Chains A and B, each alone.
Chain A
Amino acid sequence: MRPLNTASSPLGQALPQDSARRHVTGQADYCDDLPEPADCLHGVPVLGPPVKAKIDQIDWANVLAYPGVIAVITAADIPGENNAGGVVHDEPILPKEATGYAEQPIGLVVARTRLAARRAAKRVSIDYTAEPGPVSLEETIAAEDRLHEDLHLIQGDPDGELDRALFVTSGHIEIGGQDHVYLEGQIALAIPSHDGMHVVSSTQHPTEVQDLIAQMLLTPAASISVEVRRMGGAFGGKESQAAHIALWAALGAHTTGKAVKVRLDRDDDMRITGKRHEFWVKYQLGHDVQGQLISASFEMASRCGFSHDLSRSVNDRAVFHADNAYFLPHARIQSKRLRSATVSNTAFRGFGGPQGMMAIERGLDQIAARLAMDPLDIRLANAYGARGRTTPYGMQIEEDTLIPLMQTLAHQSDYRSRRQEIIAHNLTRPRLRRGIALTPVKFGISFTASFLNQAGALIHVYKDGSIALNHGGTEMGQGLYQKVAQVVAHVLGVSLARIQPTATRTDKVPNTSPTAASSGSDLNGMAARAAAEIIRERLTGYLQARWNTTIEPHFANDEITAGPHRISFADAARSAWFARIPLSATGHWATPEIGWDARTGKGRPFYYFAYGAAVSEVEIDCITGMPRVVRADLLHDVGESLNPMLDYGQIEGGYIQGMGWLTMEQLVYSTQGVLNTHGLSTYKIPTASDRPADLRIALWPNQNPEQMVYHSKAVGEPPLMLAISVHSAIAHAISSQGPAGWWPPLNAPATAEEVLRCLTLGASE
């Protein structure tokens, strides 16, 4: 691989997150760490009835009487639109007559202290009439209340080919949701000013927060500014969900005329913010005796919650990833988006993609068991590039990455001999069974809502040669600020120390897209590059005139040189200013060539794909069912890495988060829809000891064939799906409990209980 970095450019260098030194000293400020304005008030949401209900009457007297309470704010206080839904306007900021799910907030207590507000909020008395709706996935599917029309994607003649296939392997799989568990809970601080309102919000989507507040307050968007310097994690959970909190804070500030902060307690956060969509997928795979797929049918249903939120796009992405990495000559993918009486599910790293891929991976394992073959051979025989390159949505897979990547990983991880050893180990029927699997990932990069694939950036060069960098992307830990700074440093030939990344603000770069869909460095990197190139062109023109030369100046090492001429970057900036050259520029980027037909599902939804594969080895305890990942080998394609350190971090973190989703993380609701696992004492995410003791990560040497920032690739979401290998390996371990050819109907998450259920099934086969 050609190294991106030369001695003079920070591009491609392994560098930590821009604030790493502040993180480790506790000197990185998050929203709650900022000094509060004088007289700042605190808002706490008042949770509604413990079941979806019609509100008959609310008695606020005890709440208002609590010492320190300033106001109770309800829907009646909203001057403009009572809506928190970014796409479809169907989600009230505060419901007026009825709630959509158990414990949906019905008001906001504003008090002098947060503790007073929390205590007061518990004193509300609500008369209500329960109007229960579907809660579990099963009930939701039975109720079949469509949130919007199905997407029904057809390629070729799926039914006819299924009829004609020699083998049809079928089944269904249930896939659980996931709470984001960003360590910094949802928070916003709204500060009224004579210009309007300034809002510090922990959000991935400052523009949407701005728009929704403006609509709520019937005020121009220009009077609302939203700022976010950093988030303490987000993972999709602060794409649309952060708006509720910011809207409450802004409404409180509007009503009281004082600054209002709303910071959710963890348990409230878990109860009232959306999560990953639960899915149920029925699949039928028609194949030949070698396991080559001929036709596939997927029937998906997802539990979306009580409102639209981002469910359309999440489910679209699930449809576009039902094939994962495999060529389906004929395919039918039907996707139902169902309403339930639960909190509205939302974006979560992978955005439907992970759920979409689960069924085909299960199906291929099942085919392999049935044909007594190594599942890897089935996967390789069907991977794009082996026989075909057209996806069910009609997009061509042009890169030849998948098969060589899988083969290389199989070789490097010693997959085949380990698999033989594991099969031999399990034959002795020990208490601890082992399992191994290699699964690939092909993940489409671009917002499927095509208009979102744009970004803006703003660069100021000051007279001393220092550079303030701003763009529409938000920093949630992924290292976006650092990567974009590396791009700008490269274009202007300066050291990173010269560049100051600045907080994302809607009054600096307007009309931004959410930092989501793994697009952050692609879109903002391109926009910042464009802005930096404008500055470079202006300095080039100025210096060529000053030096009276036509030689193209070279920007490197904090200097600009052209033949015999040489000037430091700082001196160039100062002298350009004297010469009245503008040293501020904006850049914009819009991804070309993408677009698809929402009715048929056909077209090019993605600009390119990111690839990867993982081998996971697990151990399960046949008495308790407890699974444990003992080794994992990850090989991932980030194109030409902008920053290997940050990319490794995304790969490892994504894998572990995916492992949590597919093993221990389980959301448990009461029959009425109250979330019972609403704290970190009951909802368990992986700890350090859950990380496989042996974890090996490597980058696939590759260039993005598309022109995205210096041929790098997006990395935020794709690695999460490497963890599907964990699920598959657990199933492999369980399969040893059944007869030859049997494959367990393992659902997700593969909790100890689910594993034991399947072990018991296997023993009775």
Chain B
Amino acid sequence: MRTTIRFWFRDQWHELTPVSPTDLVLPFLREQCRLVGSKEGCNEGDCGACTAILARHTGKGLEFQPVNTCILPVAALDHAWLLTIEDIGDHHQLHPVQDATVKANGTQCGFCTPGFVMSLVAGHLQPTLAEPLQLLAGNLCRCTGYGGLIDVARQLHTLPQDPHLQAKVERAEAALKATDSEGLAMITPEGRIDAPTQLSDLLELRRIYPDATLVGGATDVGLWITKRLDQLAHVIFTGWCPELTAVEVRDRTLHIGAAATYQAFRDPLLEQYPELTEWLDRLGSVQVRGRGTLGGNFANGSPIGDSPPVLMALDATMTLLSYRGERTLPVDAFFKDYRITDLGPDEVIGWFTVPRRTPGMRLQVDKVSRRIDQDISTALIACALRGDALRIGLGGLAATPRLANHVMHSRNLRDLSLDITPLSDLRASSHYRYQVTEGLIRSFMEEHG
């Protein structure tokens, strides 16, 4: 068993011995390394002030992903390169992105600035990462009004690469090329961390340790640690198993591993369903989508997850795995009651199977939230019409995500009250939720018969 996590950091291999399965990257940087350029703004992955870049070798080259270090478990660093603001320029010699940010009036109090710079640098290193506004959606600034920062995001493609950073990139690429994580199995002073690379090992661990916490990208589990102060005694990471991260376009279906990130299945999904672009853009942020997974979104069992209603409308199935074998069920059958799912104590979510687009089909997804970007849904309504078959997936309107079975059957909105029982909460009143849902389904029905 290994006792250290090994990653490329500040131009060399770095070994880190976690104390607890809940050790996170931001405290490692700020408290252990005294690298204080990454800031803590919200401690829940919303403000982006702690943004760093995680780079992995894909076999072809390095792939750069901005991450919220405040909710990133240290285990995620294994065999990756962690770049922080300390790697980028110096006030005597700025990186072109930093120079552009100063010139564009992109900073006032400066507290959010390192995080913005890291998101921008990620977009500069990897131009395909996101559109300019999307690149900034995971970073909050309360001072500037964003104008200067947007200017920089829009001119990224015109800025030269920085020779100092390029040299670091080359060294990291060479170092990471030769290695691959062989998985983790670690006993730490305060618990145990497993990250198996073999599916059979994962299922065996799940059989032996049904109480261990399964973790995908930790975009939600991270908050259990930072906000609820949960002390998880044993975590098992699912994302090391290739079977669980695979994304494949098959004959009639799209296969999405439960531990594949939103970023990883974005292109193949949007190729089938370009109507989902806005839905995906508004789900979390670049930082969150680079870590978050469908498996996590489902296993969480939350009534307000953004993906279950969409997969329900698309008539997707999911496959659950255990040492006993596998079983496949329609995604809507997975949710039993508020925060109760059909996942057995020895099961893990394996993958999702989404039917490919069929000719003439219509799809409309509306996310209703306070804010456009990076917000939790007040309600999510997904309507799909394949031939004569209407499917309506709903989120935030009942104890679980669910299908509007009555309305789907009768095509009469008077039956909506049989399908939903919205609550009043901090996001909206039940009345509002009802009214909006009715309005959006009606607009879909009127438009598409």
Which residues in A have some Cβ–Cβ distance to B below 8 Å?
16-17, 19-30, 32-33, 35, 115, 118-119, 122, 180-185, 230-235, 265-267, 431, 476-479, 623-626, 628, 645, 648-649, 652-657, 664, 666, 668, 676-677, 679-682, 684-691, 695, 751-753, 756-757, 760
Determine which of B36, B46, B89 lies in contact with A29 in the assembled complex, contact meaning CB atoms within 8 Å.
B36
Residues 408 to 449 of chain B near chain A (Cβ within 8 Å): 425-429, 432, 435-436, 439-440, 443
Verify B440–A183 contact, CB threshold 8 A.
Answer: no
**Residue B368 is within 8 A (CB to CB) of chain A in the complex:** yes
Q: How far is the CA of A463 from the CA of B229 in the complex (A)?
A: 55
Q: How far is the CA of A624 from the CA of B425 in the complex (A)?
A: 17
Nearest-neighbour CB distance to chain B for A216, whole angstroms, equals 28
Interface centre among A182, A235, A476, A649 (most CB of B within 10 A): A649
18 additional contacts (CB under 8 A) given A23-B110, A477-B143: A16-B103, A17-B107, A24-B99, A25-B94, A181-B140, A184-B111, A265-B43, A477-B108, A624-B440, A653-B108, A676-B426, A684-B370, A686-B146, A688-B139, A688-B373, A691-B147, A753-B428, A756-B435
**Residue B141 is within 8 A (CB to CB) of chain A in the complex:** yes
In the complex formed, the residue of A with least CB distance to B427 is A682
**Residue B202 is within 8 A (CB to CB) of chain A in the complex:** no
Q: Which 8 A-B pairs have the closest CB atoms?
A: A26-B37, A477-B109, A232-B111, A23-B110, A26-B85, A477-B108, A652-B145, A656-B145
Verify B39–A30 contact, CB threshold 8 A.
Answer: yes
Verify A752–B368 contact, CB threshold 8 A.
Answer: yes
Verify B111–A27 contact, CB threshold 8 A.
Answer: no
Verify A687–B86 contact, CB threshold 8 A.
Answer: no
Verify B147–A652 contact, CB threshold 8 A.
Answer: yes
Residues 81 to 115 of chain B near chain A (Cβ within 8 Å): 84-86, 88-91, 94, 98-99, 101-103, 105-114
Residues 329 to 375 of chain B near chain A (Cβ within 8 Å): 366, 368, 370-375
Verify A17–B370 contact, CB threshold 8 A.
Answer: no
Determine which of A23, A623, A654 lies in contact with B439 in the assembled complex, contact meaning CB atoms within 8 Å.
A623
Verify B376–A230 contact, CB threshold 8 A.
Answer: no
**Residue B283 is within 8 A (CB to CB) of chain A in the complex:** no
- Residue total for B at the interface (Cβ-Cβ under 8 A): 80
Listed A/B pairs (18) with beta-carbon separation below 8 Å: A16-B102, A16-B103, A17-B107, A21-B94, A23-B107, A26-B84, A181-B140, A185-B40, A232-B111, A477-B110, A477-B143, A479-B108, A652-B147, A657-B142, A681-B46, A682-B427, A687-B140, A753-B432
Verify A24–B109 contact, CB threshold 8 A.
Answer: no
Task: Enumerate chain B residues within 8 angstroms of A180, measured Cβ to Cβ.
Answer: 142
Verify B111–A21 contact, CB threshold 8 A.
Answer: no
**Residue B270 is within 8 A (CB to CB) of chain A in the complex:** no
Task: Enumerate chain A residues within 8 angstroms of B39, measured Cβ to Cβ.
Answer: 30, 183-184, 232
In the complex formed, the residue of A with least CB distance to B147 is A652
Task: Enumerate chain A residues within 8 angstroms of B137, measured Cβ to Cβ.
Answer: 687-689
Interface centre among B86, B103, B114 (most CB of A within 10 A): B114
- Knowing A24-B94, A183-B111, the reply to whether A623 touches B440 (Cβ < 8 A) is yes
Determine which of B102, B140, B147 lies in contact with A24 in the assembled complex, contact meaning CB atoms within 8 Å.
B102
Task: Enumerate chain B residues within 8 angstroms of A654, measured Cβ to Cβ.
Answer: 145
**Residue B150 is within 8 A (CB to CB) of chain A in the complex:** yes
Q: How far is the CA of A292 from the CA of B375 in the complex (A)?
A: 44
Interface centre among B42, B136, B149, B368 (most CB of A within 10 A): B42
Verify A24–B107 contact, CB threshold 8 A.
Answer: yes
Task: Enumerate chain B residues within 8 angstroms of A688, measured Cβ to Cβ.
Answer: 133, 136-137, 139, 141, 146, 149-150, 153, 373
Verify B34–A35 contact, CB threshold 8 A.
Answer: yes
Verify B89–A233 contact, CB threshold 8 A.
Answer: no
Task: Enumerate chain B residues within 8 angstroms of A751, measured Cβ to Cβ.
Answer: 370
Nearest-neighbour CB distance to chain B for A272, whole angstroms, equals 16
The 8 A CB mask of B4-39 against A (1 = contact, 0 = none) is 000000000000000000000001001000101111
**Residue B171 is within 8 A (CB to CB) of chain A in the complex:** no
Task: Enumerate chain B residues within 8 angstroms of A695, measured Cβ to Cβ.
Answer: 145, 147
Nearest-neighbour CB distance to chain B for A437, whole angstroms, equals 19
Determine which of A27, A183, A230, A234 lies in contact with B91 in the assembled complex, contact meaning CB atoms within 8 Å.
A27
Q: How far is the CA of A682 from the CA of B435 in the complex (A)?
A: 22
A-B contact count (CB 8 A): 240
In the complex formed, the residue of B with least CB distance to A668 is B426
Task: Enumerate chain B residues within 8 angstroms of A230, measured Cβ to Cβ.
Answer: 109-110
Nearest-neighbour CB distance to chain A for B439, whole angstroms, equals 4
**Residue B47 is within 8 A (CB to CB) of chain A in the complex:** yes
Nearest-neighbour CB distance to chain B for A291, whole angstroms, equals 33
- Knowing A24-B113, A24-B117, A27-B91, the reply to whether A624 touches B439 (Cβ < 8 A) is yes
Verify A119–B42 contact, CB threshold 8 A.
Answer: no
Verify B102–A266 contact, CB threshold 8 A.
Answer: no
Verify A25–B370 contact, CB threshold 8 A.
Answer: no
Nearest-neighbour CB distance to chain A for B428, whole angstroms, equals 5
**Residue B44 is within 8 A (CB to CB) of chain A in the complex:** yes
Nearest-neighbour CB distance to chain B for A751, whole angstroms, equals 7
Q: How far is the CA of A184 from the CA of B115 in the complex (A)?
A: 13
In the complex formed, the residue of B with least CB distance to A760 is B435
Q: How far is the CA of A180 from the CA of B141 in the complex (A)?
A: 12
**Residue B49 is within 8 A (CB to CB) of chain A in the complex:** yes
Verify A17–B110 contact, CB threshold 8 A.
Answer: yes
Residues 266 to 323 of chain B near chain A (Cβ within 8 Å): none
- Knowing A21-B94, A24-B117, the reply to whether A687 touches B136 (Cβ < 8 A) is yes
Verify B98–A17 contact, CB threshold 8 A.
Answer: no
Task: Enumerate chain B residues within 8 angstroms of A23, measured Cβ to Cβ.
Answer: 107, 110, 113-114
Verify A679–B110 contact, CB threshold 8 A.
Answer: no
Verify B109–A476 contact, CB threshold 8 A.
Answer: yes
Q: How far is the CA of A649 from the CA of B141 in the complex (A)?
A: 12
Verify A25–B89 contact, CB threshold 8 A.
Answer: yes
Verify B144–A652 contact, CB threshold 8 A.
Answer: yes
Verify A24–B108 contact, CB threshold 8 A.
Answer: no
Verify A664–B371 contact, CB threshold 8 A.
Answer: yes
In the complex formed, the residue of A with least CB distance to B148 is A649
Determine which of A25, A118, A233, A684 lies in contact with B143 in the assembled complex, contact meaning CB atoms within 8 Å.
A233
- Knowing A33-B36, A122-B229, A477-B109, the reply to whether A626 touches B368 (Cβ < 8 A) is yes
Q: How far is the CA of A603 from the CA of B368 in the complex (A)?
A: 49
Q: How far is the CA of A657 from the CA of B98 in the complex (A)?
A: 24
In the complex formed, the residue of A with least CB distance to B227 is A267
- Knowing A24-B113, A624-B439, the reply to whether A17 touches B368 (Cβ < 8 A) is no
Nearest-neighbour CB distance to chain B for A179, whole angstroms, equals 10
Q: How far is the CA of A21 from the CA of B91 in the complex (A)?
A: 5
Verify A684–B371 contact, CB threshold 8 A.
Answer: yes
**Residue B41 is within 8 A (CB to CB) of chain A in the complex:** yes
Q: How far is the CA of A173 from the CA of B42 in the complex (A)?
A: 32
Nearest-neighbour CB distance to chain A for B82, whole angstroms, equals 14
Q: How far is the CA of A23 from the CA of B110 in the complex (A)?
A: 5
- Knowing A624-B440, A687-B373, A752-B368, the reply to whether A232 touches B44 (Cβ < 8 A) is no
Verify A182–B142 contact, CB threshold 8 A.
Answer: yes
Verify B368–A689 contact, CB threshold 8 A.
Answer: no
- Knowing A21-B91, A653-B145, the reply to whether A232 touches B117 (Cβ < 8 A) is no
Task: Enumerate chain A residues within 8 angstroms of B30, measured Cβ to Cβ.
Answer: 32
Verify B436–A625 contact, CB threshold 8 A.
Answer: yes
Task: Enumerate chain B residues within 8 angstroms of A666, measured Cβ to Cβ.
Answer: 370
Verify A623–B370 contact, CB threshold 8 A.
Answer: no
Determine which of B27, B146, B227, B436 lies in contact with A656 in the assembled complex, contact meaning CB atoms within 8 Å.
B146
The 8 A CB mask of B222-248 against A (1 = contact, 0 = none) is 010001010100000000000000000
Verify B44–A681 contact, CB threshold 8 A.
Answer: yes
Verify A687–B374 contact, CB threshold 8 A.
Answer: yes
Q: How far is the CA of A230 from the CA of B109 in the complex (A)?
A: 8
Task: Enumerate chain B residues within 8 angstroms of A233, measured Cβ to Cβ.
Answer: 108-109, 111, 142-143
Nearest-neighbour CB distance to chain B for A465, whole angstroms, equals 22
Verify B90–A25 contact, CB threshold 8 A.
Answer: yes
Verify B371–A20 contact, CB threshold 8 A.
Answer: no
- Knowing A24-B102, A27-B37, A689-B137, the reply to whether A653 touches B111 (Cβ < 8 A) is no
Nearest-neighbour CB distance to chain B for A37, whole angstroms, equals 14
Verify B142–A685 contact, CB threshold 8 A.
Answer: yes
Task: Enumerate chain B residues within 8 angstroms of A234, measured Cβ to Cβ.
Answer: 109
Verify A664–B110 contact, CB threshold 8 A.
Answer: no
Verify B91–A266 contact, CB threshold 8 A.
Answer: no
